[in-house]
Structure 1
Amino acid sequence: MTVLGTGLDTASPEYAENRAAMLAKLTELDAEHAKAVDGGGQKYRDRHRARGKLLARERIELLLDPDTPFLELSPLAAWGSDYAVGASLVTGIGVIEGVECLITANDPTVRGGASNPWTLKKALRANEIAHANRLPVVSLVESGGADLPSQKEIFIPGGALFKDLTRLSAAGIPTVAVVFGNSTAGGAYVPGMSDHVIMVKERAKVFLGGPPLVKMATGEESDDESLGGAEMHARTSGLADYFAIDEPDALRQARRVVARLNWRKAQADPPAAAPPEHDEDELLGIVPGDLKAPFDPREVIARIVDGSDFDEFKPLYGPSLATGWAELHGYPVGILANAQGVLFSAESQKAAQFIQLANQRDIPLLFLHNTTGYMVGKEYEQGGIIKHGAMMINAVSNSRVPHLSVLMGASYGAGHYGMCGRAYDPRFLFAWPSAKSAVMGPQQLAGVLSIVARASAAAKGQRYDDKAAEADAALRAMVEQQIESESLPMFLSGRLYDDGVIDPRDTRTVLGLCLSALHTAPVEGARGGFGIFRM
């Protein structure tokens, strides 16, 4: 039998402690997500509604098919920065007239929807997802353009947004712009470069330069409507393909545009799949609060894959990395999951072979992270850990099947790379609130700096007295605190190093939505082309 059993003792004190710690982290996470939903705050939300306008998420809700999910991406963008959580933009994947689409919506309650540096990063990530997965793009536009005080960080890289739209179109991926309000200056090129454009009567304002700029540049007197109103663009310039009388009408028309795209997925959706044999709620108590304590990732796999059915590959070889085959919402997946944290030579070689097999079979790969990195020490260096770790990283780098990554616990050092971290272009990467990621653990990093400082002092002939010891202790404490804070998932998510921090209980649903989306594009593995494996 390949159905996974469970050794999880839900009545144990350890389970209760782990669950309580995870629930506390989820409470903190909910508070930060609420900030993104709140946008510019109640005052600006009320003012926006008083103008007869819908909020960004309300527009998305009316756009989507009823009772279908919306997978929001990067909701914590800009967390920990000087800008509002969410970066004045909502992005995600949803179903419109039966078609999975990448949707972006400016949040005009945050500085009029102006784009700051994190808005740009978030929008570029959304376009990257759309291109890789061949998802039609629907842009719900209402933005005053660049946040001018931060223009030095936006103007030059910001041109990539318009390049992306043209490349999506050139790749045959439809782009639709629905303009609800301002779309000015560089922002005018969003509708200008989209395949289909809908504008709302007396609300949409699309021009390269507004009346004040035109007056300064040419001396010409003009008004918003004649310069860039929806009716002018529908009747005179031809920029508007569809003229909507109000916001609900614009969203209705957008749904009809998508319905007429004649868009088909590369692979049909599979039939309904059997749920896991074990309760997904129990995922809350698996990961210890202390990430040095190991846990069995099979307990996670048993609660996310169809029927808890997992065919393990090389179970007796390289046991600190579990590899095997399963299905998730009917889609085949190959899973690599860290079992005991450290990656040794055997685990690295096993992973490289497994990744090659997945590419031969055109099967997407799911990486479940809980690693402190590759093993160090004289015995392991002499045993070839560098070349074996390089073999695994080589395989991940040159694999062509889609990769999904979930950071459950630790994801440190080069192990983060070997397990397909952000730099290795996973199609989607999510983190649990328990996750941490850095070059190494806070205590280890602080200890290394301490050893280096002591060695440097000794080389200069300086005594390591009580005063030096006190300074060293203070340095270690400061470094530990800094690395701890910079390793946390909300900090990393704020910098878009993942696509969102998720509740562990939602893992199966989130991965199912991602697998469905990525099968809009063909799933094809590499046939050779892995570079030189150092044996």
Structure 2
Amino acid sequence: MSVLCARTGFLIKIPSLYLAHGSLNTQAARPFPVISDTLNTTSAQAQDARARATGLITELRAQIETCVQGGGEKGIARHVRLNKKVLVRERIRRILDPGTELWELCTTAGLGLEYGDVPCGGTVCGVGRIHGSDVMIIANDGTVKGGTFYPITISKQLRVQEICWKNRLACLQIVDTGGAFLPLQSDIFLRGGRGFANQALMSSQGIQQVALVSGLCTAGGAYAPTMSDVAIITHRIGNIYLGGPPLVKAATGEVVTGEELGGATMHCSVSGITDHFAKDEEESFEITRDVVASLNLELTSELDSSCPPLYDSTGLEQLAGQTQMLKPDVYALLGRLLDGSRFLEFKTMFGESLVCGFGRLSGQLVGVLINAGNITGADAQKGGHFVQLCDNRDIPLVFIQNSSNSSSESVDASTLKERAKFIQCQSIVRVPKVTLNVGGAISDENYTMCGPSFDPRFYFMWPGARLLKSDPAVLSDEPEAASSKPRKQLSEYKFESSSAAWAAARTLCDGIIAPGETREVLSRAVQLGMLHHTPLRDSRGQSRAAIRM
């Protein structure tokens, strides 16, 4: 179709693609072409895929519920009735702004471990909004083995601190711990000390550290409030000391109470370790909110929800249940994630497997890379070029890993070299990177597609996704190591070592997300990544130029 230009008098041809999806004015307001939906939702294979996905999601919900329950009925009863303390999730709820929720990370950490189940890793962690500002919260769950630190507790805390540091989020620790689990102390103390170093280093860079002492801070746990910029302590239930009353009696014979040795009155009036005295937990929540309000943090804006995808998100469950996601499925996935299902593809005709392009997530411009199988030499060349363009324009990157095809075929030297260039380019970009594993990450596609080792701000997985060192066909031929003595099963769970559940249990990923929640989670991750990102448009030259490899 052609229209007459009022200024020049010439006829201008308008592509039918734009006319099919609204007026020219609408298209100008919302750039990028609309992705066509080719997903077959009525076939028998589609029904089987949805059934498989439903089963995976049901398993995930059960694991999350186990972790939300913490120490179970006995642990909750001891915490509430005997110790007269508020449950950890209720503490967080009362501190957050009314009507907001915790964006939780690493929820299923601690399940299926060699030394048993530690629901949630013994800590509830996530990003929440206090007086309009996003704050990272790390809260010990006193119902899980008395708040004791296990190796997984350390792993989760260090990963969450890394997220906090990279995204420059103020950190609030709600401390209620009895210290380390001594039978596993060799795996705890040295790594655990890194958490205190992180507090000092973040504080030195202006990333505020706040502690609320709502229980015991024993042994190494005593350093969490001591290393914070501001510390609040609750009367009667909050104690801070390296060795408690039993140790004092054993060492000196002196009988002393916890309150006398390291209670709120002593630390607020004598040692000066804590800065604010709360007479009870309710007042401690109010003081904590006031302290965060005094940090002079940047307010977080609301995400733009005015332009949802055109296609039903239930199709994501079908895609998640498929054994293989081919290139047409990749476009169906993007059409269910991006604003208005609009996507500007980069180098459409170059490269077989890698799809790159620009779209928006809840109003935020992002560069998306998703593969449908092996990364070829041309794919790697395209990917390296694309990530440099995004870095040059200060556009955050979203990597979607989908290596469900076989990767056992041989790779020539040229392809290997191009992959290395791609890895180099994506490793050194300044812009935030967020990675989602939907089908699998196999072999060196853990490197090219920004796996956990390459500093994504967040790394998430779908329930059926996998992390593999090599092709499954190769793995199946490897003999299993013989065990001289069968181990006693200490956990209720047993996960396959390549599964998302196994990775999440060990904090190799930041959470397993249900397919229907993908757009919301990615939007929030990109928002947090860009919250304190500093654009660098004024620095040009070789260091900022996109190089055509």
Same fold per TM (> 0.5)? yes
**Tell me, what secondary structure is at the counterpart of 1:227?**
helix
Could you say if the C-alpha distance between residues 39 and 376 of structure 1 is closer, same or farther in structure 2, counting changes exceeding 3 Å?
closer
Could you say if the C-alpha distance between residues 244 and 116 of structure 1 is closer, same or farther in structure 2, counting changes exceeding 3 Å?
same
Partner in structure 1 of residue 311 of structure 2? 278
Show the 5 A alignment for 1:50-65: 50=81, 51-65=83-97
Q: Does the Cα contact within 8 Å between 2:460 and 2:513 map onto a contact in 1?
A: yes
* Separation (CA, whole Å) in 1 of partners of 2:145 and 2:44: 48
Cα deviation, 1:476-522, whole Å, max 9, x if unaligned, reads xxxxxxx9921110011111110000001111111121122222222
Q: Measure how far apart 1:292 and its partner are.
A: 7.4
* Separation (CA, whole Å) in 2 of partners of 1:373 and 1:360: 32
Corresponding position: 1:45 with 2:76 = yes
Partner in structure 1 of residue 508 of structure 2? 497
**Tell me, what secondary structure is at the counterpart of 1:342?**
coil
**Tell me, what secondary structure is at the counterpart of 1:334?**
strand
Partner in structure 1 of residue 437 of structure 2? 407
Partner in structure 2 of residue 487 of structure 1? 498
Q: Does the Cα contact within 8 Å between 1:374 and 1:414 map onto a contact in 2?
A: no
Q: What code does the residue aligned with 1:275 have? A: P
Could you say if the C-alpha distance between residues 390 and 142 of structure 1 is closer, same or farther in structure 2, counting changes exceeding 3 Å?
same
Corresponding position: 1:229 with 2:271 = no
Partner in structure 2 of residue 509 of structure 1? 520
Could you say if the C-alpha distance between residues 316 and 374 of structure 1 is closer, same or farther in structure 2, counting changes exceeding 3 Å?
farther
* Separation (CA, whole Å) in 2 of partners of 1:330 and 1:250: 37
* Separation (CA, whole Å) in 1 of partners of 2:460 and 2:412: 32
Q: What code does the residue aligned with 2:77 have? A: D
* Separation (CA, whole Å) in 2 of partners of 1:185 and 1:43: 25
Partner in structure 2 of residue 250 of structure 1? 284
Q: What code does the residue aligned with 1:357 have? A: L
**Tell me, what secondary structure is at the counterpart of 1:206?**
strand
Partner in structure 2 of residue 7 of structure 1? 38
Could you say if the C-alpha distance between residues 106 and 79 of structure 1 is closer, same or farther in structure 2, counting changes exceeding 3 Å?
same
Corresponding position: 1:311 with 2:344 = yes
Q: What code does the residue aligned with 2:96 have? A: L
Partner in structure 2 of residue 362 of structure 1? 394
Show the 5 A alignment for 1:67-82: 67-81=99-113, 82=116
Partner in structure 1 of residue 403 of structure 2? 371
Q: Does the Cα contact within 8 Å between 1:288 and 1:295 map onto a contact in 2?
A: no
Q: Does the Cα contact within 8 Å between 1:400 and 1:524 map onto a contact in 2?
A: no
Q: What code does the residue aligned with 1:496 have? A: T
Q: Measure how far apart 1:524 and its partner are.
A: 4.4
Q: Measure how far apart 1:443 and its partner are.
A: 2.3
* Separation (CA, whole Å) in 2 of partners of 1:310 and 1:442: 33
Q: Measure how far apart 1:441 and its partner are.
A: 3.1
Cα deviation, 1:222-249, whole Å, max 9, x if unaligned, reads 2211110111112222222111121121
Show the 5 A alignment for 1:436-451: 436-447=466-477, 449=478
Q: What code does the residue aligned with 1:192 have? A: T
Corresponding position: 1:163 with 2:197 = yes
Partner in structure 2 of residue 480 of structure 1? none
Q: Does the Cα contact within 8 Å between 2:110 and 2:121 map onto a contact in 1?
A: yes
Q: Measure how far apart 1:85 and its partner are.
A: 2.6
Q: Measure how far apart 1:288 and its partner are.
A: 4.4
Q: What code does the residue aligned with 2:34 have? A: V
Corresponding position: 1:346 with 2:357 = no
Q: Measure how far apart 1:5 and its partner are.
A: 2.0
Partner in structure 2 of residue 123 of structure 1? 157
Q: In angstroms, what is the RMSD of aligned CA positions?
A: 2.5
Q: Does the Cα contact within 8 Å between 1:388 and 1:534 map onto a contact in 2?
A: no
**Tell me, what secondary structure is at the counterpart of 1:287?**
helix
* Separation (CA, whole Å) in 2 of partners of 1:360 and 1:293: 30
Q: Measure how far apart 1:77 and its partner are.
A: 1.3
* Separation (CA, whole Å) in 2 of partners of 1:530 and 1:493: 36
Q: Does the Cα contact within 8 Å between 1:234 and 1:240 map onto a contact in 2?
A: yes
Partner in structure 2 of residue 176 of structure 1? 210
Q: Does the Cα contact within 8 Å between 1:363 and 1:523 map onto a contact in 2?
A: no
Q: Does the Cα contact within 8 Å between 2:320 and 2:462 map onto a contact in 1?
A: no
The structure with more helix, counted as a fraction of residues: 1
Q: Measure how far apart 1:270 and its partner are.
A: 6.3
Corresponding position: 1:388 with 2:399 = no
* Separation (CA, whole Å) in 2 of partners of 1:387 and 1:530: 22
* Separation (CA, whole Å) in 1 of partners of 2:193 and 2:284: 27
Q: Does the Cα contact within 8 Å between 1:391 and 1:533 map onto a contact in 2?
A: no
**Tell me, what secondary structure is at the counterpart of 1:86?**
helix
Aligned residues: 499
Q: Does the Cα contact within 8 Å between 2:389 and 2:546 map onto a contact in 1?
A: no
Q: Where do 5+ consecutive residues of structure 1 fail to align?
A: 451-470, 472-482
Q: Measure how far apart 1:442 and its partner are.
A: 2.5
Q: Measure how far apart 1:533 and its partner are.
A: 9.0
Could you say if the C-alpha distance between residues 23 and 271 of structure 1 is closer, same or farther in structure 2, counting changes exceeding 3 Å?
closer
* Separation (CA, whole Å) in 1 of partners of 2:282 and 2:364: 36
Cα deviation, 1:457-476, whole Å, max 9, x if unaligned, reads xxxxxxxxxxxxxx9xxxxx
Could you say if the C-alpha distance between residues 132 and 513 of structure 1 is closer, same or farther in structure 2, counting changes exceeding 3 Å?
same
Q: Does the Cα contact within 8 Å between 2:443 and 2:469 map onto a contact in 1?
A: yes
**Tell me, what secondary structure is at the counterpart of 1:486?**
coil
**Tell me, what secondary structure is at the counterpart of 2:212?**
strand
Q: Does the Cα contact within 8 Å between 1:198 and 1:250 map onto a contact in 2?
A: yes
Q: Measure how far apart 1:402 and its partner are.
A: 0.7
The equivalent position to 2:332 in structure 1, one of 282, 299, 303, is: 299
**Tell me, what secondary structure is at the counterpart of 2:441?**
strand
Cα deviation, 1:300-349, whole Å, max 9, x if unaligned, reads 1111111111111111111311100011111111000113x111111110
Could you say if the C-alpha distance between residues 236 and 249 of structure 1 is closer, same or farther in structure 2, counting changes exceeding 3 Å?
same
**Aligned residues with identical type, % of pairs:** 38
Q: Measure how far apart 1:291 and its partner are.
A: 3.3
Partner in structure 1 of residue 183 of structure 2? 149
Q: Measure how far apart 1:252 and its partner are.
A: 1.2
**Tell me, what secondary structure is at the counterpart of 2:176?**
strand
* Separation (CA, whole Å) in 1 of partners of 2:406 and 2:430: 24
Q: Does the Cα contact within 8 Å between 1:92 and 1:103 map onto a contact in 2?
A: yes
